[in-house]
Structures are given as structure tokens and as C-alpha cells.
Amino acid sequence: MPTTTLEPRFTKDLTSIEKKLGVVFKNKDLLIQALVHRSFLNENRDFPLGHNERLEFLGDAVLELVVTDYLYSHYDNPEGELTNWRASLVNSNMLSTLTTELQIEDLLYLSRGEQRDTSGKARLKILANVFESLVGAIYLEHGYEAAKNFIMARLLVKLDYILQNKLYLDPKTYFQEQAQEKTNITPTYRVLSEEGPDHDKIFTVGIYLGTEQVASGTGSSKQAAQVSAAHNAIKVKGW
């Protein structure tokens, strides 16, 4: 597919993106499309390219294959452990962090509303999807080995840190294991407050060791608030 000459108002500094990715694209359209969120097209009907969801679909599969193959080839652990390790690598939190590390957020094609919303679940999901769509674009442009090298350099280098700090365990499980080992107490959770209408509540939950409130956390559900509280408690205790 020939490269589209975009109008000046649509152009981005693709050279800087390629330097950060460590990959040069002959088909610049492929790289551009990896950066296009659906919301951008709603406001720019004349934009000549599509959004990145098909590339995200492809990149997700390539990502999972590369990570699974690496774990299978390098570790002789049971299937359940490898599954947890893989999940810790390819979840939205990790992938959104990787996109942030690339420092390309200002170069994404987003609607004005999405540009203003710089936090929250929606933003995290957008950034995670961009990483997957970039993997898909690299795969189409340069093949499996190039995509693998990119994933190795950006994602799999995080594995040692994840294993050393047991980040493959969710915060609630990790804090409970540490609390039982260090204090012989099983943590409990209590809802401290609920705010907002029924369809958009924000919960604040405290996490306790006996009568001691170690930390608190907020979330759009009680479960999310508990996870946030456990994450904060890990920091408070230095575990």
C-alpha cells in the first residue's frame, strides 16, 4: 500500500517515533495507523486512514506467542506459574507503562476529549492497545523476528524484576502472603466510604492487620478499591 501524504494538520514526527521504536518503516501509513484511536476518526471524517484496532488484534496474538514461547523455552516451571508470569507481562498496566516509556503519547491520534483525559481506565486501555498495535505494525512491516526483538527489548527485560518482587501475584494475594509470614495475621478490608450516584460510585476501602489500618485505596468497585488498598499497603510496609 503506498504511503499517504497527509495534510499538514495531520502530520506527526514519525522519525522520532521510529528512533524510539528502533524500527524504520517503508510503509509510513502502517506506523501512522498504529497510533490512531477510533475517537480521532469521529472528529476527523476526512482522515485517510483507519483506526488501530485491527493492528491491535494482530499485535495481541504476536505478543502472546513471543512471551509464551520465551517462557516455555527458558523456564521449566508448571503451567500455572507460567500463566501467571505471562499475565503479569501482557496486562494493560504493563503495556500502558511501556507505551508511556516510549514517550510517544503526544504523537497519538486522539479526539480532543481523549487528549484531555490523561488518567483513568480508559486512558490506560488506549495506551496498552497502542503498544499492541505497534507490535502488529512491526510484524507486518518486518516480520516475526523484528517483532520478537522489539518485545524482547521492551517487555521481556521486565521479567526478572517481576519475578524478584513477585509482581505476578495480584496485590491482595501478595500482601496476604507477606502479612501471614511476617505477622501471622490475615488482612481484612472495610468499606470506609461510598461517593457518587449508583451508576458511577467511587469506593474507599481500608486494609487492616488486626485493628491497625495499614492503608486505604479507592476504586470504581469494592474489588478495585481493595486492590488499590493492598497495593498501597505493600508500599507502606515496604514489602
| Candidate list 7, 69, 106, 132, residue with the active-site label | 132
- Whether residue 192 contacts residue 222, with contact meaning beta carbons closer than 8 Å, is answered with no
- Whether residue 106 contacts residue 74, with contact meaning beta carbons closer than 8 Å, is answered with no
Angle between helices 92-102 and 121-142 (to 10 degrees): 70
- Whether residue 225 contacts residue 203, with contact meaning beta carbons closer than 8 Å, is answered with yes
Which residue is listed with cell 461510598?
Answer: 194
**Cβ neighbours of residue 194 closer than 8 Å, sequence gap 6 or more:** 201, 202, 203, 204
**CB neighbours of residue 85 within 10 Å:** 20
User: What does the alpha-carbon distance between residue 200 and residue 202 come to, in Å, rounded to a whole number?
Assistant: 7
Asked about 13 being catalytic, the answer comes back as: no
Asked about 60 being catalytic, the answer comes back as: yes
Amino acid making up residue 66: V
| Candidate list 29, 43, 56, 60, residue with the active-site label | 60
**C-alpha atoms less than 13 angstroms from C-alpha of 198 in its C-beta half-sphere:** 0
- Whether residue 15 contacts residue 41, with contact meaning beta carbons closer than 8 Å, is answered with no
Torsion angles phi and psi, residue 237, rounded to 5? -80, -15
User: What does the alpha-carbon distance between residue 164 and residue 227 come to, in Å, rounded to a whole number?
Assistant: 20
Query: Which residue numbers are catalytic?
Result: 60, 132
